């Protein structure tokens, strides 16, 4: 398939893609597009344009407008089980929830009495707990947040208890934890490490077993990317893992086998399933947002 946007590495990838489907460019004009989240009930996509300190909204008629003008350098977004928007903010170094009436509730901004680094990406478990990563990207410079020295000694993955509000560090040994996603049955949590330290650049996703929706065990390397560092990821209904990495979307089988890639004209930061049938992959890629139809649907359908 010379010139194709599809790179088929394992024949199983053919069952996941629509061969005639092309990459649609929905919008351009961002500085660093991130944090896509689909609102099925409203039939629209939201995402963050981090350096421009705004959140954008795309409607299927092609209309794109500013959803939130001062987003506080928002990054990752998701929805909780009540449909409320949950957002990571570099600027406020916090995770927030946007209530139905539009007011913003701070869910977490410190751990053990010290400020968080800069929450990056977030997912919500069906038991209501909120899991997010806290690398330092949003405090390294004034481009994607406010430059500051980190107060946390490590770059953790946290779990926020929905009942007590208690924040627990569930993983503490990442270089820079970034995107994360549960498997459809919530028995697994995938977490990307996009960091580099002392010449070490793992470029991998790790997977953990989730115990009682509360703790993680049996962490191991799930896959190692060729061509870019992983950032955001999602899981489809069959358990395949779709992750960003360079100007590519990489698709891995549940056993970690690389099935194929989709070539994108710009560096990919994140992606999410959306559309009325959840069979359209929305891709935030540097200055633009792209979308492509697949045969599979996303695992999460809030």
Among 80, 89, 121, 144, binds Mg ion (CB under 5 A): 121
The answer to whether 231 contacts Mg ion (rule: CB under 5 A) is yes
Q: Which is nearer to Mg ion, 121 or 134 (CB)?
A: 121
Q: Which is nearer to Mg ion, 6 or 137 (CB)?
A: 137
- Of the ranges 13-21, 41-49, 114-122, 197-205, which one interacts with Mg ion (CB under 5 A)? 114-122
Q: Which is nearer to Mg ion, 118 or 279 (CB)?
A: 118
Residue 194 beta carbon to Mg ion: minimum distance, rounded to whole angstroms = 7
Residue 75 beta carbon to Mg ion: minimum distance, rounded to whole angstroms = 6
Residue 71 beta carbon to Mg ion: minimum distance, rounded to whole angstroms = 15
Residue 8 beta carbon to Mg ion: minimum distance, rounded to whole angstroms = 27
Other CB atoms within 10 Å distance of the CB of residue 267: 17
Helices vs strands, H then E, count in the chain: 0, 27
Termini Cα distance of the chain = 36
Q: In this structure, what are the phi and psi dihedrals at residue 137, rounded to the nearest 5 degrees? A: -55, -35
Report the candidate in 183, 203, 179 with the shortest Cα–Cα distance to residue 191.
179
Other CB atoms within 10 Å distance of the CB of residue 206: 22
The answer to whether 272 contacts Mg ion (rule: CB under 5 A) is no
- Of the ranges 112-120, 152-160, 273-281, 286-294, which one interacts with Mg ion (CB under 5 A)? 112-120
Q: Which is nearer to Mg ion, 13 or 92 (CB)?
A: 92
DSSP letters spanning 191-248: EEE---BTTB---EEEEEEEETTTEEEEEEEEEE-SSS----EEEBTTS-EEEE-SSE
Exposed, middle or buried, 102 (CB in 10 Å: 0-12/13-18/19+)? Answer: exposed
The answer to whether 120 contacts Mg ion (rule: CB under 5 A) is yes
The answer to whether 89 contacts Mg ion (rule: CB under 5 A) is no
DSSP letters spanning 228-241: S----EEEBTTS-E
Residue 113 beta carbon to Mg ion: minimum distance, rounded to whole angstroms = 26
- Give me the residues that bind Mg ion (CB under 5 A), please: 120-121, 178, 231
């Amino acid at each position: 398939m010379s010139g194709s946007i599809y790179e088929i590495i394992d024949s199983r990838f053919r069952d996941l893609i629509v061969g005639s489907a092309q990459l649609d460019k929905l919008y351009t004009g961002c500085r660093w597009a991130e944090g896509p989240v689909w609102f099925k009930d409203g039939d629209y996509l939201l995402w963050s344009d981090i350096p421009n300190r705004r959140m954008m909204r795309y409607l299927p008629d092609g209309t794109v407008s500013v959803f939130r003008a001062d987003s506080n350098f928002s990054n990752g977004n998701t929805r909780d089980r009540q449909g409320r928007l949950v957002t990571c903010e570099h600027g406020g170094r916090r995770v927030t929830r946007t209530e139905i009436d539009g007011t913003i509730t701070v869910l977490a901004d410190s751990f053990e009495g010290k400020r968080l680094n800069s929450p990056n990406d977030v997912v919500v478990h069906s038991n209501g707990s909120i899991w997010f990563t806290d690398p330092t990207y949003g405090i390294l410079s004034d481009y994607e947040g406010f430059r500051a020295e980190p107060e946390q000694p490590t770059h953790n993955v946290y779990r926020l208890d929905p009942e007590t509000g208690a924040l627990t560090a569930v993983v503490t040994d990442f270089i820079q934890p970034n995107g994360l996603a549960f498997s459809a049955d919530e028995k697994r949590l995938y977490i990307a490490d996009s960091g580099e330290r002392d010449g070490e650049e793992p470029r991998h996703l790790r997977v953990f077993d989730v115990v009682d929706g509360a703790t993680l065990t049996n962490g191991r390397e799930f896959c190692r990317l060729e061509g870019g560092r992983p950032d955001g990821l999602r899981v489809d209904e069959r358990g395949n893992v779709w992750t960003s990495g360079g100007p590519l979307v990489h698709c891995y089988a549940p056993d970690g086998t690389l099935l194929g890639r989709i070539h994108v004209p710009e560096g990919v930061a994140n992606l999410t399933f959306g559309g009325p049938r959840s069979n359209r992959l929305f891709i935030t890629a540097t200055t633009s947002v792209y979308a492509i139809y697949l045969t599979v649907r996303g695992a999460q359908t809030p």
